[in-house]
Amino acid sequence: MTPSTLRWAKALTFDKRPRSARERLLGLFPALCLQVALMVNPALAQADLAVTPSLVTNNYSGTITFAIDGVPAGASLAVEKYLDVNENGLIDDQEPVVQGFTLTDGQLPVIGGVRNINVPGDEDGSADGQLRTEVRFPGVEPISGGMPGRFLFRVRGVNVTIEPATNTFEVRQEVLAQGVSGRVTDAVTGLPLGYAMVGLVRPYGLQGTIVMAGANGDSTVYGEPGPYLLAPARRGYVGRPTELTLGASIMRPSSSFLPWWSATSLRKIPSASV
């Protein structure tokens, strides 16, 4: 027991009369409880997370490497990817998880003794409190998986209690010579709908781009020349996709060289149906 703890224990006693051994022991009981509590509840392990590369474009095809350390050996961890809707660098309430997977220190997923490359695992193969894994980008869903925006990856414990770690990740939209720019609005009120999703997708195959509109409903989506469906979406609203064709290198005399749409509006779903 440290001197400071003894002084704290003695300060609990205000009676100066002679005390028996039993009374002195009882007087030290609170200090002993404090010492035991500090031993049983040590400071939580602080995980560390590195994401490489931390910035890619939506046409990037490759791997994202995660390096995690500072966790107990053999720990199982959850890695979650949040969309940073307001781009403040924090995981706020209501910000959605758009991707997630689990890892166990020292374990690799196998099928019939063969490494399953479709499932993340600890590539170093050692239960040493350090994990490294690689995840394919954009993944099995190229349109939603390659969505431009700012994101936050968070690591938290599954079978252990640790201080979670977060790090940033950004996907920038590749700027092309043609695309669509406009504002998503409420079909009834005409008011802009902030943070709506706007998809510019091919009518066939898994090709296209989804972006999130800004706070005022404005967004710009780029695409290669050809036919597309333009589809806005927002929670609590329904809309109708618009067919359009992007011409090659469409130039406009205004400061924006992209065609402006005016009919991208959404109709609110009755509250009983939401």
Model confidence over 98-133: pLDDT tens digits?
A: 999 999 999 999 999 898 988 999 999 999 999 999
pLDDT one-digit tens code per residue, 157-178? 999 999 999 999 999 999 999 8
Domain extent at residue 222: 179-273
Domain edge (last residue) among 117, 139, 172: 172
Buried b (16+ CB within 10 A) or exposed e, 205-222: eeebbbbbbbeebebbbb
Domain edge (last residue) among 124, 147, 172: 172
Q: What is the C-alpha to C-alpha distance for residues 204 and 227, in angstroms, rounded to an integer?
A: 10
Q: What is the C-alpha to C-alpha distance for residues 50 and 133, in angstroms, rounded to an integer?
A: 11
233 and 269, same structural domain? yes
168 and 199, same structural domain? no
Helix (H, G, I), strand (E, B) or coil at 106: coil
151 and 67, same structural domain? yes
Residue type, 163: E
In a domain, 24, yes or no: no
Domain of 71, CATH number, reads 2.60.40.1930
Instruction: Report the chain's mean pLDDT, rounded to a whole number.
Output: 82
Nearest-Å Rg of the Cα atoms of the chain is 28
- Average of per-residue pLDDT across 64-88: 96
Please answer whether residues 105 and 71 qualify as being in contact, where contact means their C-beta atoms are separated by less than 8 angstroms: yes
Please answer whether residues 178 and 94 qualify as being in contact, where contact means their C-beta atoms are separated by less than 8 angstroms: no
Q: How far apart are the first and last CA of the chain?
A: 61
